[in-house]
Structure 1
């Protein structure tokens, strides 16, 4: 369905975001790492509690909610699947960033989740994490790397991805139940997105 020009009402209890899909179809030039003491750690079979905690700490302010609604069985089926790789950005022995890559579609890699905790924003940690993400994404027989972000994410997200070599190719509107109203996210999450009950 194509939305008409002009305003479209969003029902109370729902949230709506503009989603931008971005891709790269060739390995970008390597960018230097910023100064810092970060490391990347792969989690081969992530514990569900660990994954949920890191996902929440990285994504709660940006209303990452789809994984919050999943049962243990549903979540394990995804994050333990062949072709899924999960990494943590480690700072002083603490996990402060999340990278999830999906290689299940031949010739492609999706950056499913990418982000750092609030204390790491602006430190260069995200640049370090993106450099590692692109190294890993392009390490095999891949012709396309892609991701999507939305207007709930950090206001600099699209520009960051474009500086990293991604090019926008699609835009969508996503409408969903507000996770702050039905339980998966606290009411204090994502203060930049008003709650309309």
Structure 2
């Protein structure tokens, strides 16, 4: 990640076939209160669960333009899931997997909340709060000084406020530009309909 150059003031053109999103980084230096993990139905995913992981990742992330794990080859993903410093959990409703929680402790003294999300039908029912409590309890059960994450405007519109209510504080803003996965075939063209899909390069810019 290149953090040195600054974007110019005003509009910056995005190359054809690319998309840009505004990313907010948040951190928690200590939990606001002592949170004990409840009896939330979590299943630990390991390196033997590659297909289950990818299926759940796509189920939850397709609406929000999650692509990084879908672009990984088997060996790279297996290395992550088998790392003892990475904890990946699927949330179940008793019958099927409806949530994903991924914690990365590979940097000493830190935990990154890499992925956190729910299937569409589980959103807005209080399940996210239970899953976040699990995330906070599991993160601070290890000797860390910082729990952090990033979210962006491609995510659910309530995500940023949810993380702040959970005790995370924004500390940095960045802009990320990458290939539109709906044009490369990683995601279907119908994915993330709230993000415009531009097929043909435009030669004029409309400013307000």
Task: Give the TM-score range, shorter chain.
Answer: over 0.9
Q: Which runs of 5+ in 1 are unaligned?
A: none
The structure 1 residue matched to 2:142, chosen from 128, 140, 143, is: 140
Q: Helix, strand or coil: the match of 2:69?
A: helix
Partner of 1:9: 13
Distance of aligned partners of 1:81 and 1:31 in 2 relative to their CA distance in 1, 3 Å threshold: closer
Contact kept, 8 Å, 2:41 with 2:94, in 1: the verdict is no
Residue in 2 that maps onto 1:21: 25
Runs of 4+ with deviation above 6 angstroms = none
Please provide the CA RMSD for this pair: 1.8
Report if the CA contact (8 A) 2:90-2:101 is conserved. yes
Structure 2 distance, partners of 1:58, 1:13, is 24
Instruction: Name the CA distance, whole Å, in 2 between partners of 1:193 and 1:131.
Output: 30
Secondary structure, in 3 states, of the residue corresponding to 1:174? Answer: strand
Structure with bigger gyration radius: 2
Q: Is this contact kept in 1: 2:109–2:143, CA < 8 A? A: yes
Deviations 1:106-127 (A, max 9, x none): 1110000000000001011111
Look up the SS of the partner of 1:4 in the other structure. Answer: coil
Q: What residue in structure 1 maps to residue 154 of structure 2?
A: 152
Q: Which residue of 2 aligns with 1:189?
A: 191
Partner deviation per Cα, 1:123-165 (whole Å, 9 max, x = no partner): 1111110000000000011110000011100001110000000
* CA distances 1:36-79 after superposition (whole Å, capped 9, x unpaired): x9522222435111000000001000000111111111211222
Instruction: Give the conservation status (yes or no) of the 8 Å contact 1:30–1:131.
Output: no
Aligned residues: 195
Instruction: Determine the C-alpha separation between the residues in 1 that align with 2:46 and 2:76.
Output: 17
Q: What is the aligned partner in structure 2 of residue 94 from structure 1? A: 96
Matched residue SS, 1:5: coil
Per the normalisation by structure 2, the TM-score is 0.89
Q: Distance in 2 between matches of 1:126 and 1:3?
A: 35
Matched, 1:79 2:81: yes
1:20/1:172 contact within 8 Å kept: yes
Query: Deviations for 1:162-188, whole angstroms, at most 9, x for unmatched residues?
Result: 000000001100000000001110101
1:27-176 equivalences under 5 Å are: 27-30=31-34, 39-176=41-178
Give the Cα–Cα distance (whole angstroms) in 2 for the partners of residues 174 and 49 of structure 1: 28
- Cα shift at 1:6: 0.6
